[in-house]
Structure 1
Amino acid sequence: MNLRIILATLCLSLCHLASTLPVEDNAKRDVFVPRILYPRAGVVWTVGHKHNITWDTSNAPVNISNGAMVILRKAERGLPLIMAKGFDLRKGRVEVKVPWVFPDSDYSIVLFGNSGNWSNNFTIQGTL
């Protein structure tokens, strides 16, 4: 099966799950698509090190999801890897530990909450 189809199906499934979550106190939840600030293009991570993934919360609506998730994605191959989940999107950051992966320069972060948005590609280095 084509990797793009698998990734598209995963994204649609996660969006569907997020849309079926109960809304507290019947409050309307606004769509929030924050710009990922870090990692950015040119950044190099090392396997085993910790990093703070950060995003812009300056235009965050009052009612947003707390069911957030960060996924590490490798362009064109490999399945996505969940790095963090269940954190508050309003905080604008989440700390992650870089997993053991094959060194390459085409990794990106996908931030899910009310919507999914992607970082620029960055590099993960390490020893094999």
Structure 2
Amino acid sequence: MIMNGLTNFICFTVLSFFALVTAFPVVREVYTPPVILPDASTVWVVGNQYNVTWNVTDAPPLQNITDRTGFIVLAKGGDEAWDNNTLLELASGFSILSGTVEVTCPKVPPANDYAIVLFGDSGNFGNLFTIAE
């Protein structure tokens, strides 16, 4: 009789816990903050350091972001149909909520069709900008 009551109590407690957990599901969000800098008026010079900046004012709570670690690549060509041959990694391992990260402009040919791609949950292209020697 005591064992039956104890078993019922344990079962009730476990089931209540599961009911409570499922009543408050964790909401996961794909977060793609817009890149602010560099913008269309920006000119980078090869070898110099610059800040890549993105807007985090509308960020969901950190625990809700599916991928909190960001990385930044430099894309060339002016459209989002890039492949791995047109990308150069500039930074990685930073918090997507930091809002800025310093990078060094790599040695690339001068052109006005470069863009920053910010990855966390997904790739977010910035505006086209210019790189000069």
TM-score exceeds 0.5:
yes
Contact 1:66 1:86 in 2 (8 A): no
In structure 1, distance between residues paired with 2:108 and 2:38: 17
In structure 1, distance between residues paired with 2:45 and 2:86: 20
> Between Structure 1 and Structure 2, how many residues are aligned?
101
Report 1:105-124 matches (<5 A): 105-124=112-131
In structure 2, distance between residues paired with 1:105 and 1:41: 9
What displacement does 1:33 show? 1.1
Residue in 1 that maps onto 2:99: 92
In structure 1, distance between residues paired with 2:102 and 2:31: 20
What displacement does 1:112 show? 0.5
Read off the aligned partner of 2:121 and give its amino acid letter: N
Read off the aligned partner of 1:37 and give its amino acid letter: I
In structure 2, distance between residues paired with 1:66 and 1:87: 8
- Report runs of 4+ in structure 1 exceeding 2 Å deviation: 26-29, 63-67
In structure 2, distance between residues paired with 1:28 and 1:105: 40
- Please, what is the CA RMSD of the aligned residues? 1.7
Residue in 2 that maps onto 1:73: 75
What displacement does 1:66 show? 2.7
Residue in 2 that maps onto 1:13: none
Read off the aligned partner of 2:108 and give its amino acid letter: V
In structure 1, distance between residues paired with 2:29 and 2:60: 6
In structure 1, distance between residues paired with 2:124 and 2:27: 21
Structure having the higher Rg: 2
Which runs of 5 or more structure 2 residues have no equivalent in the other structure?
Answer: 1-24
**SS in structure 1 opposite 2:39?**
coil
In structure 2, distance between residues paired with 1:84 and 1:28: 28
Read off the aligned partner of 1:123 and give its amino acid letter: T
Residue in 1 that maps onto 2:46: 47
Contact 1:57 1:90 in 2 (8 A): yes
